[in-house]
Amino acid sequence: MSVSELGEIDEPAFSGLARRHRRELHVHCYRMLGSFEDAEDAVQETFLRAWRRRETFEGRSTLRAWLYRIATNACLDLLAKCRPEPATGGEVRWLQPYPDRLLDELPAGGADEPETVAVARETIELAYLVAVQHLAPRPRAVLILRDVLDWTAKDVAELLGDSVNSVNSALQRARAGLREHLPAERQDWTGGAGDAGTRELVRRYTEASVATDVDRIAALLRDDVRCSMPPTPGLFVGRDAVVNDWVGSGFAQMRGLRAVVTAVNRQPAVAFYHWRAAEDAYLPLTIDVLRVTGGAIAEIVTFHADRFPRLGLPERLPADRTE
């Protein structure tokens, strides 16, 4: 599309062009912000800004690249307003899951296709998202644009109003910060839910959890397992700490659980439902997102039931349902 054509089309036609890139822009904003809902806001702001500034599109880049520029700046503005400091410690309380069913909306292409790169598994997993959130906003943007989207240093410098040297320096600092917060064994991760060993591990975890058998669950965990439940404060590290927290919370005494195995952020996940006699149904409780490495569970991130609708999970399970 030419510059003049973009400036002259009406709003419905413009929206149709822009929304072809909506899902990958949403993933980009999610990676920047760590929150599904904040990413929704950032994408809406991106489209609003793009419509208002459509006559500034000079045609020196593709419409896709132009939208990414606007989206990145929208995220930086949101971070400056809502989160003046990056995440600290091991917690990211605003972290939210991203359903695989929405990631699958992007067309499957070759390994170098932009849409494929945008949702590459290693940059959409929760551990990567958490590590990225520990970076300051501008280095975070540099890292994502350079290492995830494969932009040139010159293009990133133009977007941020920096020099190429500044961008390269920021990239090196961001890579160092990322390595500091990523799990040391990341290169040895076993894979997603499609791996046979992982599927069996998830099955055993699901059965033991529905039975609230803490000992059986504990046997599936790594010694250095990590467990968190954003936005609730608290990060438990080590099998004993995790198990003690479960016992202290009364998990072992729970009855009436059912589960649905699913996937989010390209990771296996288990959604739990709890029997409610007044409703004569099992209602959403929590969803556990698992990171598996070396044949054991290395991390459990638990999200509350309010995530279920966005994840495409049933709102209830009938009384006669069995798993």
121 token code pair: 């598994």
CB 257 within 8 A of CB 209: yes
Around Cβ 160, how many Cβ atoms within 10 Å? 19
- DSSP assignment, residue 108? P
Q: Which fold has domain 188-318?
A: Nuclear Transport Factor 2; Chain: A, (3.10.450)
Please name the residue that has the structure tokens 């149904």.
281
CB under 8 Å to 189, separation ≥6 — which residues? 291, 292, 293
Where does CATH 3.10.450.50 sit in the chain? 188-318
Instruction: Name the phi and psi angles at 6, rounded to 5.
Output: -65, -40
Please name the residue that has the structure tokens 């977007």.
159
Rg from Cα positions in the chain: 21
Please report, in tens digits, the pLDDT of each residue of the chain (323 residues total): 444 455 556 677 777 777 889 999 999 999 999 999 999 999 999 999 998 888 778 777 788 899 999 999 999 999 999 876 667 677 798 999 999 999 988 765 544 555 555 556 789 999 999 999 999 999 999 999 999 999 999 999 999 999 999 999 999 999 999 999 988 766 555 555 568 899 999 999 999 999 999 999 999 999 999 999 999 888 999 999 999 999 999 998 999 999 999 999 999 999 999 999 999 999 999 999 999 998 999 999 999 998 888 899 999 999 865 44
- pTM for this model (two decimals): 0.89
